Amino acid sequence: MDKAIHWVSHIEVNPSSSRILFLHRWTERVSDETCFLHRLITANPDGSDLRLLECSDHPLPQLASDFDPASVGTFAYEKSEYQISHPLWKDDQHIIVWGPHAEEIHYHLYQDRPEGVVEVIGRDILTENGHMSFSPQNSRWMISDTYPDPESSIRDLFLFDTRGDVRIPLGGFYTSPDLGKENRCDLHPRWKRDGSQVCIDSIHDGERRLYTIDVSKITQGNGP
């Protein structure tokens, strides 16, 4: 850490405003995201009672003098096995995150207290990083997406039924592989407050647009 630049990101407040979470990230090579290191931390709003839930400390061959950052794909960072990504409170005590734990990378559900209680969500079903969140009306339902498939350039959008461990596809959306890191368009799904719809950003029609999708028949019924 001595030679690194440090910052925090992905700051989130739990539903009762009693705890915050954030990612502490640091690196010696700012221009190459695959060299970022990560810690998932929670705290009281005044900064007291810090709790370290996860640390993705790992070897960094990318720091070698002959490493070429241009050889790294646009989405290599998001798909890294060391990435701690997109943490979000499920409720006042639980945090969903894509990241490594016990030498495996999954959607993990962390318990803020007691620390050390970690559960895998969707083992062998949810196998890629995405932008996940739970329905504000029923945390049984989680919405998420994927980054583009390297061959088809399709991003998948899906619901996940945490009660039955069922992944329900909602659609696949093309994104031009010519888009770079700065101007790409992730789906970033998010819920309507009543849990009946989700909205996404997409560029599959050739322009960046906002779309809404009705999921009420699934989320307000008994599932698919």
Reported as a single tens digit per residue, the pLDDT across 85-124 is 999 999 999 999 999 999 899 999 999 988 779 999 999 9
Residue position matching structure tokens 């030679």: 3
pTM of the model: 0.88
Q: 135 and 176: one domain?
A: yes
Final residue in a domain of this structure, among 77, 105, 129: 129
Residues 24 and 109 in one domain: yes
Domain boundary among 76, 100, 129: 129
Residues 159 and 122 placed together within one structural domain of the fold: no
* More confident site: 83 or 157: 157
Same domain, 140 and 117: no
74, 109, 129: which is the final residue of a domain? Answer: 129
> Are 35 and 80 in the same domain?
yes
144 and 118 inside one domain:
no
State the total domains in the chain.
Answer: 2
Compare 150 and 145 and report the one with higher pLDDT: 145
CA distance 49 to 26: 22
C-beta atoms surrounding 209 within 10 Å: 12
- The whole domain housing 218 covers 130-224
Instruction: Looking at the structure, tell me whether residues 125 and 27 fall in a common domain.
Output: yes
Q: Considering Cα of 153, then 122, then 96, then 158, what sign does the dihedral take?
A: positive
